[in-house]
Amino acid sequence: MLKKLLIAVACASLVAFAADDPVSAIKKKDAELQSLIKKSNRSSKETERVKALLNDSFDFELLATKSLSKSDWNAQDEASQKKFVAEFQRMVRNSSAKRLELYRADSTIYEPAKMKGDSEARVVAHLWYKGKESVLEYKMSLVNGNWKAWDLIIDDLSTARNYKDQFGQILKTKSFAELIDVISKKADEAEK
């Protein structure tokens, strides 16, 4: 399940969002993503392009805060929070870049964005691959004039909620520093 949700994060992460229309931006970047997927031999240059897309289009800080209970997040000092976000981002980027080929679509239909004020949006996409439909819901926020995804829900499974459950379980037996070590090791493994 973690693998599927890491893929989900990759999917959301690979979509760079323009401030004016979240759906148009998703469509544009989805085409770029599909192009990368179709290349048979992904080079390190293409992998770095995937990682750059992740950095530009995903709000890792917001996902990180939503991946922990409010009390766990608030209990950490600023340095620990920053380290957590950095290692979490590295883990997601490295894992997502390796699993890009699993995000394939033969066709996609996007519903109109559901706006909440001017700074929050939800976009639902219906993807078909080999006749099977998947429903993705992108949760986005406007950050410095650009739409950034902070959660992706695939067939009712939330990436943020899944991480929150997993990290909560880890924090029952380990310290926050040990959680960061676990995430760092996963990032290292995915980088190889």
Residue 90 has pLDDT above 80, yes or no: yes
pLDDT band at residue 100 under the 50/70/90 scheme: low
Residue 4 has pLDDT above 50, yes or no: no
For residue 17, the model assigns a pLDDT of 45
Report residue 153 as tokens.
Answer: 């829900």
3-state secondary structure of 39: coil
E strands along the chain, which residues? 17-18, 107-110, 114-116, 120-129, 132-143, 146-154, 157-158
Q: What is the pTM of this model?
A: 0.78
User: Which residues have CB under 8 Å from 164's CB, separation 6+?
Assistant: 66, 67, 68, 69
